[in-house]
């Protein structure tokens, strides 16, 4: 019979299992057996990492975090260098993958991943393999789809954290800094900041300086609001012209990661207000997907099966601006990061509310 292989790559993400479930169930309806590949792309080097997934195996998976297949975001199949340049996957590895796919008798290979994983998938397609991509990342930074799955769940987690930080900030008249994920794009920080009532939102797309933040905190104090909530994306950047301290070490820290802690420390130093930092980290990637992600994952999975059935390869499933499922060529989907538009409606709305982005001065 016909077979679809499924592999997950890159970091884990809420909803991976929901996509796998949708593929297995819809595949079953269309006469496909789904073969799960374990351990990311490395699992394609030999057929032993592959096993059929039955509809019964999918019980409970719609809501389960992580991926039952396991994943890896580094190693032989990394298609991106640390500098973000594309790296070609060696021909001998591609040959091994082709042999595995032939040995397993796969008619299609569904690759679920973010930009790096999909870049590898594109190279597999270009070497003649029947590949279909599904866009996964909590960062929501792929331009070819209106949304990636996992994002909504990550935002929900960050909003929950902001809600909790509000009550403790208020009780102690403190400044609370929440650091969220987002190396290249500030989607999580921007959406969560808006939904969770943050006073300051710092994102990679808008360089910030400390005096603007200080001014915001003092302005709040002048109106009797003695606490402040700051949300910062891990990739947020300090204004280059800015000297943050007389101390080179602190400058370095602010620039080179652990940014939330450095900002909290700096705020305390400048304003005299007690400040604390929480790094939300991988909590954003764990646990049950939200209802929004569950339906998005289910639709992505079913769309991937439709594409396998019609042998529509070298494409990525996508949520179109119309709100409908569709697809785009993988080559038009990879290497296209979608950033938050600093002059777009989302940011302007926040600014209209008085939210500070750290660039006011």
What mask of x and - would describe binding to ligand F6P in positions 175 to 194, judged by CB under 6 A?
Answer: ------xxx-----------
Least spacing, CB of residue 193 vs ligand F6P, in Å: 16
6 forms part of the interface with ligand F6P (CB under 6 A): no
Least spacing, CB of residue 257 vs ligand F6P, in Å: 10
CA atoms of 316 and 312, how far apart (whole Å): 10
Provide the β-strand partners of residue 318: 326
Closest CB to ligand F6P among 97 and 142? 142
Q: Is 126 annotated as a binding residue?
A: no
Least spacing, CB of residue 100 vs ligand F6P, in Å: 26
What mask of x and - would describe binding to ligand F6P in positions 192 to 231, judged by CB under 6 A?
Answer: ----------------------------------------
Helix, strand, coil distribution of the chain in percent, nearest 5: 45, 20, 40
Q: Is 117 annotated as a binding residue?
A: yes
Q: Given the rule CB under 6 A, which of 48-56, 133-141, 197-205, 329-337 is the region that contacts ligand F6P? A: 133-141
Closest CB to ligand F6P among 58 and 138? 138
321 CB-contact burial (10 Å; exposed 0-12 / middle 13-18 / buried 19+): exposed
115 forms part of the interface with ligand F6P (CB under 6 A): no
Closest CB to ligand F6P among 48 and 256? 256
C-alpha atoms less than 13 angstroms from C-alpha of 123 in its C-beta half-sphere: 21
Q: Is 286 annotated as a binding residue?
A: no
Write down how long the chain is: 361
Return the ∠ at Cα 196 (arms to 193 and 201), rounded to 5°.
20
Closest CB to ligand F6P among 181 and 244? 181
136 forms part of the interface with ligand F6P (CB under 6 A): no
- DSSP structural state of residue 11: S
Q: Which residues contact 151 (CB under 8 A, 6 or more apart)?
A: 137, 138, 139, 140, 187, 188, 293
Closest CB to ligand F6P among 114 and 358? 114
Return the ∠ at Cα 276 (arms to 270 and 277), rounded to 5°.
110
Report the 10 Å Cβ neighbour count for 282: 11
What mask of x and - would describe binding to ligand F6P in positions 70 to 109, judged by CB under 6 A?
Answer: ---x------------------------------------
Q: Is 248 annotated as a binding residue?
A: no
Write down the H helix ranges in the chain: 16-29, 91-104, 115-126, 151-172, 187-195, 210-222, 248-255, 259-271, 291-309, 330-333, 345-352
Q: Which residues are catalytic?
A: 139
Provide the β-strand partners of residue 176: 229, 276
Q: Is 283 annotated as a binding residue?
A: yes
Among 42, 139, 199, 214, binds ligand F6P (CB under 6 A): 139
What mask of x and - would describe binding to ligand F6P in positions 228 to 247, judged by CB under 6 A?
Answer: ------x-------------
CA atoms of 317 and 135, how far apart (whole Å): 7
Q: Which residues contact 242 (CB under 8 A, 6 or more apart)?
A: 209, 210
Q: Which residue number places its CB atom closest to ligand F6P? A: 181
Binding residues for Mg(2+): 115
State the binding site. 11, 114-117, 137-139, 174, 181-183, 234, 276, 282-285
């Amino acid at each position: 019979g016909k077979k679809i292989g499924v592999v997950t790559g890159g970091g884990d993400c809420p909803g991976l299992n929901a996509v796998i479930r949708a593929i297995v169930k819809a595949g079953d309806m269309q006469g496909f057996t789904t073969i799960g590949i374990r351990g990311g792309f490395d699992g394609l080097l030999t057929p032993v990492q592959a096993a059929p997934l039955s509809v019964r195996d999918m019980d409970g998976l719609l809501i389960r975090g992580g991926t039952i297949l396991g994943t890896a975001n580094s190693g032989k199949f990394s298609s991106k260098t640390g500098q973000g340049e594309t790296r070609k996957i060696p021909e001998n590895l591609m040959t091994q993958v082709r042999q595995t796919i032939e040995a397993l008798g796969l008619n299609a290979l569904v690759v679920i991943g973010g930009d790096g994983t999909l870049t590898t998938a594109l190279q597999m397609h270009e070497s003649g393999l029947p590949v279909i991509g599904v866009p996964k990342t909590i960062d929501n930074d792929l331009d070819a789809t209106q949304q990636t799955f996992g994002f909504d769940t990550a935002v929900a987690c960050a909003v929950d954290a902001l809600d909790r930080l509000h009550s403790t900030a208020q009780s102690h008249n403190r400044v609370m800094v929440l650091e969220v994920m987002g190396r290249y794009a500030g989607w999580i920080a921007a959406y969560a900041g808006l939904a969770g009532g943050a006073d300051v939102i710092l994102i990679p797309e808008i360089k910030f300086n400390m005096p603007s933040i200080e001014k915001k905190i003092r302005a709040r104090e002048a109106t009797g609001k003695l606490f402040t909530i700051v949300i910062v994306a891990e990739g947020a950047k300090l204004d280059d012209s800015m000297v943050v301290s007389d101390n080179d070490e602190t400058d370095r820290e602010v620039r080179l990661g652990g940014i939330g802690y450095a900002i909290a420390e700096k705020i305390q130093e400048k304003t005299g207000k007690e400040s604390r930092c929480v790094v939300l980290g991988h909590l954003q990637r764990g646990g049950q997907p939200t209802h929004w992600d569950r339906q998005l994952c289910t639709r992505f999975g079913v769309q991937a099966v439709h594409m396998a059935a019609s042998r529509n390869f070298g494409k990525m499933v996508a949520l179109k601006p119309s709100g409908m499922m569709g697809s785009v060529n993988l080559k038009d989907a990879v290497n296209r990061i979608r950033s938050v538009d600093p002059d777009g409606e989302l940011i302007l709305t926040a600014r209209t509310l008085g939210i500070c982005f750290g660039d006011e001065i």
